[in-house]
Amino acid sequence: MRKTQMAKLFAAMLAVTALAGCLGSNSSNNGGGGGGGGGGGGPKPAKPSDYQAALDAVQAEAPTGDMPTRIKADYSGQLRVEGRRTNSPDLVGTAYGDVNVKVNWTDGQPASQNPFTGTISNISGTLVPGQKGDISGELKVDPKMGPAIGRVVLDTSKLPKIPGVPAVTAASGSAAIPMSGQLQVDGKSYDTNLTLGGAFFGKGGKSITGPAVGGIREVGSKNPALFDGALTGDYYLKKK
């Protein structure tokens, strides 16, 4: 893809904010996702300082130790990603976006049953030189990429006893939320994949945070690589 187009896409794409999840055990997959918004016309994108403060607040919570066996709730937050060309380590830009996800999950449900629906939308960002930009389109939960929630129980009463240390039972949670879609910049279209991975935080799994990793490829690209550019970042989600 052309360098100018790639830069603009990254500047916009890197503006995606907050989501959650990382793959764990007792996973649940498949099913599809809905949601709203496109680039440029929705709510104003997050300010970097506001995003960082919100991310810090979620990460300051303890990882969930009482992960429930059933979650049916809406989560919202934001995402921040940095973009780099696949043939260069240099940063192209940073983007933020809104993340909205519905969770409908029961521990032990079939792996073919997708626990997530939702979108990343309202994407905007800034190139390294300072130029700002928007992109249109949104990413949706992709059931073919294995969305999942995992719940793991640790029961120390089943481990060798340590004198003076009481037995503890705790249940943690993890999530993997893959998103895909086509984004448009200056009349060009880009196939985009992004996975939000991580863990549940707070009492009862009220928040999700972790890494965001993916890539983009211009439609019709002759590049032999899987992606024309790489996306890496983080996100946060909070239960409404």
Rounded mean pLDDT, 193-197: 98
Rounded mean pLDDT, 100-105: 99
- pLDDT attached to residue 45: 62
| Angle made by CA atoms 176, 182, 186, in degrees to the nearest 5 | 135
pTM: 0.79
pLDDT beyond 70 at 92: yes
pLDDT beyond 50 at 1: no
Percent of the chain with pLDDT over 70: 80
CB 15 within 8 A of CB 97: yes
pLDDT beyond 70 at 232: yes
pLDDT grade for 23, boundaries at 50, 70 and 90: very low
DSSP character at residue 63: B
- pLDDT attached to residue 176: 98
pLDDT beyond 70 at 146: yes
Closest by CA position to 216, among listed 147, 151, 128, 137? 137
Q: Name which residue leads in pLDDT, 46 or 86.
A: 86
